[in-house]
Structure 1
């Protein structure tokens, strides 16, 4: 079975073509900076490594370009889009409607659209990707895999907000949790690596950031909530704030609700603190003495540490701390900040191991550390492919 995996962001498309059940990645790549004259495109196979800068005006043109590359007579990997059996779509917010992977029909598309307001940076792009993929891969099954699904096991004591009960029963307002495909994938890798069922804290650090308490393979608490906006400090999102700030901005400073939304989602986080959104540049500036960048990195790590402490309490112990995603896998600087002065929890970082880069799972703790510190590269695309294959063959 050949499955195309699509992860459509607001200005990007990540894609892979995976053969199942062998899990062979036939090709992979991404398009980013969609909407600009300088969009970046990558396309990789076992024999090809293509990189281009070209104008990609919208997601439809981007997906058409991907389909063109897949069928290219010289570097393509299929002769016709009819060879594609299924297209798996990552969808960030499934709300209360979806706790499992589903075949996409009009009803599913309508539900995804209803949740635009809760994931404004993500769900609109996902629905657009689904609509265009239905046109391009017309004979393939279209399947949605929801980030929120993994967190459906979070108990009511953790997912319910302390507001009138009717908001949960009538409006389904609760904590949902996000980055579920990533947290599920790396926690399963961690459990296979560790000698016993484990109490795990998984830390997904990218442009979006979240942290999950996992017990016996199940999510029991998580840093994001009703939408993917709160919790840790992120690239452009503020994470946790005092909600009275929103009313102060509107009632006293004259902001509209839309301006507040834009401020907290697109102009805050590391960008708001430093003027930069790319962590590599922030780390470089910090090394050169930029005090704003030094403070922002310290704040970022401090917020993560606070969540680790609370989740150790919830789990009543900790067997492994897992770092994953772009920053979690590649930033030794952030990992060092997070793990310093955490010996009370049995977290002891080996600074030399922390510098090693690898695409494999690796330990970066000392030999005497009671808690394993693991770096596990995430593979959301493979996790989506697994779930799509399971749905279509069960």
Structure 2
């Protein structure tokens, strides 16, 4: 059985697959790690349990995950040896990792060297891998990097116009994120349209609390909105998106803020939350905007405008556009935001059918109008399946066989997931 682990800064998501990836046997979320109100939510075939309990760190979170997978009532395995391979998400692989890799000492050393590129994310990714290696001794671990998909972005798009030595010696460049999601969604889009991905130009709009737009030409990332850190590009839930960097000097030199204060402002107090003054949740912001809250209305308009502008830029960069794709929390669930973004993109050939747009989550991914020359789709992302696919690809066949005498208890009952 293949286990996928996605360690965020304060959460851990996991899914357990059959070895052929045909079934999800169990899945769960451990949230608010290191915070008040932490909880574990585990599901297996219609059974499971959500409980609040202290989760001080990621090591404890993985121990809770294993306890849930082996639980007497809603567990699905008898012992850790039932897990034959583990796939992990890592946010940042620098320019070292251009593909997913099997973990060894050298890989762990390189991962630690990348911590400075993603200080909020990579440490918890590393903690998850280390904990998994202790809990599942001898089981191969595979790391899937969000940045790997964007290693095909050409130099003219990933090198900043700063002194070249900062790029050559210090690795300061655009890296891009949500690559695992983009890779899955771009191939799923080609499959849905029955169109060879090698012949397609598409823009993937990954719209959630974190937001990235990615230009995918022939199945390869050629530009993406988030750059060196994870607050650039278009505005997000609490992150600012791009702004004039001279503002930082003004905040420090004229308003007396520390660099730590500015970092907190850019990552945690900006975006939808910063403009609206209300929330980082698009659902609440759009509801209040409809009720006449002007700052919420402005927050939505800024969000939509910056996304629309980026789509146009990427169409120009690729010299065309065949598909516009929405995914992730906002992209998959907000018909209003999709309508607002697509409005005014008719010059590119983007036109949507409003009736289909309203029911896109009910099995109607293609929301294009009949006369549209660009296909517009809503494609649910599945980073966990992409991680599982790479884990299966990189694990030697002889290691994928469950040891004799080890059972996957409750498997038949868990199948309905």
TM range (shorter): over 0.9
- Structure 2 residue aligned with 1:277, among 268, 277, 280? 280
**Counterparts in 2 of 1:229-244, with a 5 A limit?**
229-244=231-246
Task: Give how far 1:357 is off.
Answer: 4.5
8 A Cα contact 2:360 2:366, kept in partner: no
Matched, 1:354 2:353: no
Q: Secondary structure at the residue paired with 1:170?
A: helix
8 A Cα contact 1:203 1:324, kept in partner: yes
8 A Cα contact 1:204 1:323, kept in partner: yes
- Structure 2 residue aligned with 1:341, among 341, 344, 351? 344
Instruction: Tell me how many residue pairs correspond in the alignment.
Output: 393
Instruction: Report the TM-score, using the length of structure 2 for normalisation.
Output: 0.90
8 A Cα contact 1:37 1:54, kept in partner: no
CA–CA distance in 1 between the matches of 2:262 and 2:215? 30
CA–CA distance in 2 between the matches of 1:19 and 1:195? 27
Q: Secondary structure at the residue paired with 2:274?
A: helix
Matched, 1:145 2:148: no
CA–CA distance in 2 between the matches of 1:8 and 1:359? 29
Q: Secondary structure at the residue paired with 2:332?
A: helix
Task: Give how far 1:360 is off.
Answer: 4.4
8 A Cα contact 1:361 1:376, kept in partner: no
**Residue number in structure 1 paired with 2:160:** 161
**Residue number in structure 2 paired with 1:332:** 335
Task: Give how far 1:114 is off.
Answer: 2.7
Instruction: Report the TM-score, using the length of structure 1 for normalisation.
Output: 0.96
CA–CA distance in 2 between the matches of 1:41 and 1:55? 10
Call closer, same or farther: CA 1:18–1:166 in 2, change over 3 Å. same
CA–CA distance in 2 between the matches of 1:386 and 1:123? 22
| Structure 1 runs (4+) greater than 4 angstroms displaced | none
Q: Where does structure 1 lack aligned partners over 5 or more consecutive residues? A: none
**Residue number in structure 1 paired with 2:322:** 319
Task: Give how far 1:342 is off.
Answer: 1.4
CA–CA distance in 2 between the matches of 1:169 and 1:118? 15
**Counterparts in 2 of 1:60-71, with a 5 A limit?**
60-71=59-70
CA–CA distance in 2 between the matches of 1:191 and 1:36? 41
Task: Give how far 1:361 is off.
Answer: 6.1
Q: Secondary structure at the residue paired with 2:236?
A: coil
Matched, 1:372 2:371: no
Task: Give how far 1:144 is off.
Answer: 1.0
**Residue number in structure 1 paired with 2:406:** none
Call closer, same or farther: CA 1:35–1:105 in 2, change over 3 Å. same
Task: Give how far 1:44 is off.
Answer: 1.6
